[in-house]
Each structure stands twice: as C-alpha cells, then as structure tokens.
C-alpha cells in the first residue's frame, strides 16, 4: 500500500472516530489487505475495522446492503465476530463501507495440522448448520476464512464480502454447497 493510500484510509478511520466520539484514532494498525479493501485492528479495544472501497460507477449500494445484512445475521448467530457498527462515507467518486467488529484473535484453519482440524470439525459443522438453517451463504468459504482460537474451542468465519442471504434457498442445496466447499479444502490437505 502506498503512503497516499494509507493516508486516505486513515482519513476514513479519523472520520469514523469523529462519528463515534473516540479520539484515539491513531491506535488502529493495518492488519490485512485484500483486493477490495483493508482490515485495521485496535488491539487495545479488541476491535477490527474492515474498510471496503468501491467506485460509484460500479453501483455498489445493493452489494454493500447485502454485505451489511449478511454480517448482521452472521454476527447475530455467533458465526462471525461480533458486529458493532456499519457506516458509509463518500470521498469523491468512491464509497467506503466500514464494518466495525470484534477482533477475534485466532489462526486460520489452513495453518493447523490435520489432527487438530479433524478435532474441531464438530464446531465447523455447527456453524455451517446454523448458516444453512438461516439461509446465510458465505460464497468464499475456505480454510483461510475460518479462524480458530488458540485453545481450539472457538471458531469464527470471516470475510462475508461475497456472501448473501437467501431464505428461500433449498436447505439441501445449501448443505451440498458447504459439503463441496469443505471437501475440496480437505482434499487439498491430503
């Protein structure tokens, strides 16, 4: 990330803190970068802020509304880290969506040995069953988007930026989708 890009993100974070009456905006540190945005963390407050950017030429409103709805639902059921707030800000022709969540400190499922992965499968299955029951479709589920706590007793799914909610979707179809996603993950590990 260039210095100018980082300055733009810091301006959005500063605006966020102005909105929430929090003056310690310098405590946020860049944690991760993706194609569509950045994730900043504030370790003192145990919060994460995902900032996604989209040009207004791409008509992001419907997509951002879906991302917000999926994050609200997934947070409500404990599938993803707790959601604190979602807000939007416009800078020129670019819309920023900011999702403030609990910072869940964990490691990705990709990095764990196979015996540990098998041990926590019941936890993963419980989260997937909850998503199926509530019509939550992740659309980018892989080991890198499943975080596991250091004691292996808690898991959270992250990055619902491609997700959607479809309450009319067949539960059997959703089950097959998640089984196929996890099967391909385990096939790569063997």
3-state secondary structure the chain: CCHHHHHHHHHHHHHHHHHHCCCCHHHCEEEEECCCEEEEEECCCCEEEEEEEEEHHHCCHHHHHHHHHHHHHHHHCCCCCCEEEEEEEEECCEEEEEEEEECCCCEEHHHCCHHHHHHCHHHHHHHHHHHHHCCEECCCCCHHHEEECCCCCCEEECCCCCCEECCCCCHHHHHHHHHHHHHHHHHHHC
Buried b (16+ CB within 10 A) or exposed e, 128-140: beebbeebbbbee
Give the residue with greater pLDDT, 175 vs 83: 83
Band (pLDDT 50/70/90 cuts) for residue 165 is confident
Tens digit of pLDDT for each residue in 6-27? 667 666 766 666 555 554 667 7
pLDDT value, residue 62? 73
C-alpha pair distances (Å), 182 with each of 65, 125, 188: 27, 10, 10
Does residue 58 register a pLDDT over 70? no
Query: Is residue 107 within 8 Å of 148, Cβ to Cβ?
Result: yes
Give the residue with greater pLDDT, 187 vs 112: 112
Give the residue with greater pLDDT, 113 vs 177: 113
Topology of domain 107-189, per CATH? Answer: Transferase(Phosphotransferase); domain 1 (1.10.510)
Q: For 3-102, CATH number?
A: 3.30.200.20
Residue corresponding to tokens 């063997």:
190
Count CB atoms within 10 A of the CB of residue 54: 17
Query: Is residue 36 within 8 Å of 98, Cβ to Cβ?
Result: no
Mean pLDDT value across residues 60-66: 74
Q: Mean of the per-residue pLDDT values for the chain?
A: 81
Token representation of residue 4: 């100018």
pLDDT value, residue 178? 74
How far is residue 97's CA from residue 64's CA, in Å, rounded to a whole number? 7
Mean pLDDT value across residues 29-43: 85
- Where exactly are the structural domains of the chain? 3-102, 107-189
Does residue 57 register a pLDDT over 80? no
Query: Is residue 108 within 8 Å of 143, Cβ to Cβ?
Result: yes
Tens digit of pLDDT for each residue in 117-161? 989 999 998 999 899 888 898 988 889 999 999 999 999 999 988
pLDDT value, residue 82? 92
């Amino acid at each position: 990330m260039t210095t100018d890009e980082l300055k733009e993100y810091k301006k959005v974070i500063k605006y966020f803190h102005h909105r929430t009456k929090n003056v310690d905006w310098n405590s946020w540190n860049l944690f991760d970068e993706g194609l569509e945005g950045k994730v900043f963390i504030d370790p003192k407050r145990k919060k994460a802020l995902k900032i996604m950017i989209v040009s207004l030429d791409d008509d992001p409103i419907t997509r951002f509304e879906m991302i917000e709805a999926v994050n609200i639902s997934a947070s409500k059921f404990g599938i993803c880290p707790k959601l604190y707030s979602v807000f939007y800000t416009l800078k020129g022709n670019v819309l920023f969506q900011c999702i403030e969540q609990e910072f869940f400190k964990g490691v990705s499922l990709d990095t764990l040995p196979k015996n540990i992965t098998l041990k926590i499968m019941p936890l993963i299955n419980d989260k997937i069953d909850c998503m199926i029951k509530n019509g939550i479709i992740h659309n980018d589920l892989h080991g890198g988007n499943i975080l596991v706590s250091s004691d292996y007793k808690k898991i959270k799914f992250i990055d619902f930026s491609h997700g959607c909610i479809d309450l009319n979707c067949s539960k059997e179809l959703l089950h097959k989708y998640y089984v196929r996603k996890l099967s391909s993950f385990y096939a790569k590990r063997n």
